[in-house]
Structure 1
Amino acid sequence: MSNLTHFNEEGRAKMVDVSDKPETVRIAKAQSSIEVNELIYEHIQSNQIKKGDVLAVAQVAGIMAAKKTWDIIPMCHPIPLKGIDISFNWKEQPHNKWKLEIFATVKTIGNTGVEMEALTAVSTAALTVYDMCKAIDKGMIIGPTFLLEKSGGTKGKDFKRNDVEI
């Protein structure tokens, strides 16, 4: 049997009690992406999207989403986040496409990790880019979205993804 901690004795969902865990510095980094056509890329780069500065809005949306993760993911704890950084990197793709890579680093000092906050941040930033550009083309592709690394905690279970180019 696996060590699933989000179930009570009746086999029903519960939020894990972390009150006995010591506070430590915890950091998580996540990545997502959105592939857009060349016209969208050019419009974003020249700030010609009618809804505004796409990357600035996506950055703020990602930060706001990280802060509200506990509101939308049922078993997440409300965490006092100490830092959130969202960054972007463009990569040219074949067939006149561009991939916008989205990175989030989230930090806290607490008794539970911030992986979900980092993943929520990059997901929301990608969705925001889609929302702001969908009038030009609805064929954008979001993802993959994944955890790059996490550190902190008391069990020494740091994680660093080795199967993707960063």
Structure 2
Amino acid sequence: MSEQLTHLDHQGHAHMVDVSDKSQTKRTATAQAILSMKPSTLTKVIEGGLPKGDVLATARIAGIQGAKKTPDLIPLCHPLMLTKVTVDINVISDCELEVLCTCALTGKTGVEMEALTGASVAALTLYDMCKAVDKGIVIQRVALLEKKGGKSGDWRQGDE
């Protein structure tokens, strides 16, 4: 794998990478965000007892929209024709939620940024939906967990 920063030209200026000569391959990526909150807040999320309505459904939709809007938010990202975006929200302790966003396509560039953006936007939406009862919610970690396909091949968090 190249250690070169591909979004910089030979003069060090930012530019959009030309992917026109790359082969189309199936590419997937999964990213995670962890939210920590009061146990009473998590109970309200699970039971649907928050004033803004169905928090989990709203966060899932927001994550999907976030993934689709990635090139509008991250300046050098290519607009992609995503073929799959899933957002799963799991309870991982009495005070933590895990957001997983998986994106897929067959194309010339990867979907890591879309998965990271989707997980981030879903986590931010969860915060927004819950802040009336818990302003101390912390989005602890946003990380790429796995990517498959493309020139650099498969990669999984912790396999370095």
Q: TM-score range by the shorter chain?
A: over 0.9
1:108 aligns with 2:105: yes
Alignment match, 1:126: 123
Alignment match, 1:138: 135
1:117 aligns with 2:139: no
What TM-score, normalized to structure 2? 0.94
Measure how far apart 1:142 and its partner are: 0.1
Q: In structure 1, list runs of 5 or more residues that go unmatched.
A: none
After TM superposition, list the pairs within 5 Å mapping 1:1-166 onto structure 2. Answer: 2-93=3-94, 98-153=95-150, 155-162=151-158
The CA deviation string for residues 95-139 of structure 1, in whole angstroms up to 9 with x for no partner, is xxx100111110011000000000001111110000011111110
Q: What letter corresponds to residue 62 of structure 1 in structure 2?
A: G
Q: In structure 2, list runs of 5 or more residues that go unmatched.
A: none
Q: CA RMSD in A?
A: 1.5
Instruction: Return the alpha-carbon distance in structure 2 between the equivalents of residues 7 and 156 of structure 1.
Output: 18
Q: After TM superposition, which residue ranges in structure 1, 4 or more long, deviate above 2 angstroms? A: none
Counterpart secondary structure, 1:4: coil
Please say which of residues 7-16 and 57-66 is displaced more in the overlay.
Answer: 7-16
Counterpart secondary structure, 2:37: strand
Identity value in percent: 48
Measure how far apart 1:43 and its partner are: 1.1
Instruction: Return the alpha-carbon distance in structure 2 between the equivalents of residues 11 and 89 of structure 1.
Output: 42
Counterpart secondary structure, 1:143: strand
Please say which of residues 20-29 and 4-13 is displaced more in the overlay.
Answer: 4-13
Measure how far apart 1:66 and its partner are: 0.2
What TM-score, normalized to structure 1? 0.91
